[in-house]
Amino acid sequence: MEMQGKLGTQEVWTAEEWEIVKALLRTRPKPFPLDVRPLPPRVQSTYRPISVPTRRLRLTNRKNSSAKDKHFLTSLAVQIASLPPQTNASHILVGHKHQLIRGSLSATIRELGHLGLACRALETFQWQQQCRHLWPDERTLCATIEVLTAGGKEGIAWKLLYSHAPSSLLAFEALCKGHIANGLLYRALYAKQKAENSGMIIGQGLYSELVLLAARLNKVKEMKLLVEELGSFGELQLGLEHCTSIMAACRKSHMHDAVLSLFEWWKQAGFLPNVVMYQIVMTSLLDMGKPREALAIYWEMGKRGFAPHLPVYTALIDICVELKDVHRALRMLSHMKESNITPTGNIYKKLIKLCNQDGRFGKAKELAEAMRKEGLPIHDVEAHTDLCF
């Protein structure tokens, strides 16, 4: 039966339309098609061959690479050194003007200093001042000051310092380094005092070099003052080489408290001591009359896994002699031979004397025979023993 007419303003569907709607609702929808199209082919580059890749060259880096090349900069110094005396260094430098940057000529000037050509170094510096892209340059200025000071041109070095960098700490340190290279302790201390009068404090690395110079010249008073000034720093910033060298210098000058203080600071700072440090501390404690504390330092070194070397064994034998411990001394001698370390004649003499004092004459004679076999001189052994050979 067909439905006809209208109900109000709404349109009435026929039976045929209802059947069509029902049929559509009964059918399952088709799945949405996925895009499985293949990727477009890769376009090959047409600027370079496919099989042989070439390295991309950057012309801007070629300039910087030559300006920082140590071989190139030292070769400039060699070329300048080969010039006739009447020819200025600028004759070589002009051709390489565009290959240099600020700081490059410092290596050239230092090389001229090693060659003993302080005047050529000054000519190089004066030529650099005329180049706008190379000047001002504090690094090259400090190198020139150091080379002139080491070359005996201290007056010119002071003039450069006051005219170009009167408030530069690096310039004053360069002046000190030049005097240190010549072994002039008091002139270096004078430059240090000038820097301090200007309100500057030199670095701890330069302090360590001054301490080592004072120790080498056997200036104990000046060395003690420098070590005290170094200890006044709120925080030490010394490397392994500087710290070990200062400890050795202090031990040589009988400044045992400074040795122990540096050793404790090194450990508290979280650094690992080396074998040389342990040996210096052991010897210092032995000089202070504390052999048992020195032996404790040896045990600490063993726990760290360090193998003792000849100076450590020498200190250990001295500790055993001080403690009159014959058994430990002979055991240390056996450890030395097991480690392929040849005992010295002094070690044998100390052991022979110790064995005689303990009444072990047979062992003393055995050690004397070992000295003969190893070719060590035994003509003065009788002065340390009661044996007759």
Q: How confident is the model at residue 301 (pLDDT cuts 50, 70, 90)?
A: very high
pTM over 0.75: no
Q: Is the pLDDT of residue 361 over 50?
A: yes
Check if the beta carbon of residue 279 is closer than 8 Å to that of residue 246: no
Q: Is the pLDDT of residue 274 over 80?
A: yes
- Interval 102-120: pLDDT, tens: 999 999 999 999 999 999 9
- Interval 313-341: pLDDT, tens: 999 999 999 999 999 999 999 999 899 99
The C-alpha atoms of residue 174 and residue 147 are separated, in whole angstroms, by: 9
What was the pLDDT predicted at 189?
A: 96
The C-alpha atoms of residue 328 and residue 322 are separated, in whole angstroms, by: 12
**Domain assignment present for 162:** yes
**Domain assignment present for 376:** yes
**Domain assignment present for 85:** yes
How many domains are contained in the chain? 2
Coil, helix or strand at residue 6: strand
**Domain assignment present for 280:** no
CB-based burial of residue 259 (10 Å sphere; 0-12 exposed, 13-18 middle, 19+ buried)? buried
What was the pLDDT predicted at 380?
A: 64
Range of the domain at 179: 67-202
Q: Tell me what percent of the residues of the chain surpass a pLDDT of 70.
A: 85
- Interval 193-220: pLDDT, tens: 999 999 999 988 899 999 999 999 999 9
Q: Tell me what percent of the residues of the chain surpass a pLDDT of 90.
A: 60
Mean pLDDT of the chain: 86
- Interval 225-242: pLDDT, tens: 999 998 888 788 888 898
Q: Which of 168, 202, 236 is the last residue of a domain?
A: 202
Q: Which of 202, 223, 252 is the last residue of a domain?
A: 202
**Domain assignment present for 8:** no
**Domain assignment present for 161:** yes
**In this structure, are 73 and 195 located in the same domain?**
yes
Q: Which of 147, 178, 202 is the last residue of a domain?
A: 202
Residue tagged 């063993």 (tokens):
302
Mean local confidence (pLDDT), 163-168: 92
